A and B are shown apart, each in its own frame.
Chain A
Amino acid sequence: MNKIHKRAKIADKTATIILYITASFFILLLVVLTGYILFQGFRAVTPQLLGFSGDGIGIQLFNTIYLVLISLIISVPIGICAGIYMAEYSRPGRITNILRSSIETLSSLPSIVVGLFAFLILVEATHMQYNLLAGAGAVSILSIPLITRVTEDAIRGVPDSYREGSYGIGATKWQTIVKILIPSALPRIITGIILAAGRGFGEAAALIYTSGMSSDIDFSNWNPASITSPLNIFRPCDTLAVHIWALKAEGIASNSQQIADLSAAVLVILVFLFNLGSRFLGRFITKKNSI
């Protein structure tokens, strides 16, 4: 008995140590990587480089945020509806299985494949130039399965006792979904949206042939119908990630490496701020709902 006890204790200690080491390793990795990217990026930054003219990356920063926003406007409603369907409406059976494996396959498609597909459908077939909407569409194809999956899991994760309580006093399925299930699942759904947005921020391959590698916009022109307006969704639009790729691959200016590094650093900060922001938003909504 004593011996077994001792062995169990040693195993317990060992496991604790190993898990702590693993966690520390990842934290270290994160700190080193982020530190390196930020250091490299801001080493020789000038206000000019952060601006909206010449070789400044302000345009790409704006494009990134705008493209992710548009792609979320497309993918969040579709993804959430599909997730709710999968969790609450689909009946176990062949069709549901086919649906589920389609969603899984879709989520593991290489982004260059999605990009080329979107190029054929959204650019070639529509006889348009590279445009922001096509890029947002390509990113949506990548993020819809993600949001669907997370929403389904989140809704399924709501305890059945909540459903019983709601149905038990005569609520309909839709009322239960809207008033009980979605609010309860919201924190997890928001996590899914953050992940999906992360894909948009970091996506390059799917955008090269859809939203293109350049933009020509004029920040004094806010008429959405004009092709040089920042708000126009039918204009070419290069995001930070695409910009990094373009500069690293074929940049010819003397400081193109420096601009690419700066873009990377700005992108990291952008993603970080977005994550913080959406968590605060999530907490705010949850709180507001519970009063």
Chain B
Amino acid sequence: MKDNSIKIYTENLNLFYGDCQALKNINIEIQENKATALIGPSGCGKSTFIKTLNRMNDLVPNVTITGDVYFDKLNVYKEYDIVELRKKIGMVFQKPNPFPMSNYDNVAYGPRIHGVKSKQKLDEIVEKSLRSAALWDEVKDRLKKNALGLSGGQQQRLCIARVLAVEPEVVLMDEPTSALDPLSTQKIEDLVDELKNKYTIIIVTHNMQQAARISDKAAFFLLGEIVEYDSTEKLFSVPTDKRTEDYITGRFG
């Protein structure tokens, strides 16, 4: 039996795109209310991996998955309703993807589809979520304006607010700052630091400094396998595997 601080764990998880194996025997335990960073070179399976956690891979044709993913000790692929699962495991994508509607409607989208109708309740949720995403002060006077008018960094924080509005327990972030300038990146990083008190964060990143700055634990992915998984501090200072060391010292990748 896993101890209670384990929010998500996988057992012998394999994933194939057609004949091509993208994930090989992944066994990992993600701890609750910690930020876990997934690092590794492009195409090593990091993004594919986090998409197995909230079943976003279901949208991709020709994907076969073997092995199991457990979230709160229940099997993600067998014991969850997909709507319920994605409500609890929110996701922030690489490129900010606000809907072409107002800032308010973007954040209210989730609560609305999950049945919140009261205007007052929605107002509360929107404000709370925007505050949590450190965006409230910047948009409170233009809630009715189209979200596409925000800057890239603001759009990404809006997307985070949109996820927080459905009160998830886990937030998956797929390279959330790779399309942003340094200042916006800084804001998102501060935000992650803040959010991990309340949420379990899993963040994919190419940026090793970023992983070192914001995560508690880090996993190094290479060619669809987890080479090393440890506390961030240890992984970056005394990696046990030669390949991890080569990667973090910038010898390849």
Contacts and interface: CB of A to CB of B under 8 A. Distances in A.
Contact of B90 (A162, A168, A179, A180): A168
A169 interface: yes
Given A180-B99, A183-B101, A290-B100, A168 B56 contact: yes
A165 B92 CA distance: 8
Contacts of A169: 86-87, 90-91, 109-110, 113, 162-163, 165-166
Interface in A272-291: 289-291
B97 A161 contact: yes
A259 to B, nearest CB: 48
B139 to A, nearest CB: 15
Contacts of B162: 165, 169
B83 A172 contact: yes
Contacts of A159: 97
Interface residues of B, number: 32
Contact of B114 (A161, A170, A290): A170
Contacts, number: 76
Interface residues of A, number: 22
A161 B155 CA distance: 13
Contacts of A291: 102, 105, 144
B200 interface: no
Contacts of A184: 99-100
A164 B163 contact: no
Nearest to B97: A161
Contact of B56 (A92, A164, A172, A179): A164
A179 B56 CA distance: 19
Contacts of B59: 163-164, 167
Contacts of B95: 161
A191 B216 CA distance: 52
A162 B101 contact: no
Interface of B: 54, 56, 59, 61, 82-87, 90-91, 93, 95, 97-102, 105, 109-110, 113-114, 144, 146, 159, 162-163, 165-166
Q: Which 10 A-B pairs have the closest CB atoms?
A: A161-B97, A170-B87, A170-B86, A168-B91, A169-B110, A165-B97, A170-B83, A290-B101, A175-B113, A171-B113
Given A162-B100, A171-B109, A184-B100, 19 more contacts: A92-B61, A163-B59, A164-B93, A165-B93, A165-B159, A166-B99, A167-B86, A168-B90, A168-B93, A169-B86, A169-B90, A169-B166, A170-B82, A170-B83, A170-B113, A170-B166, A171-B110, A172-B113, A290-B105
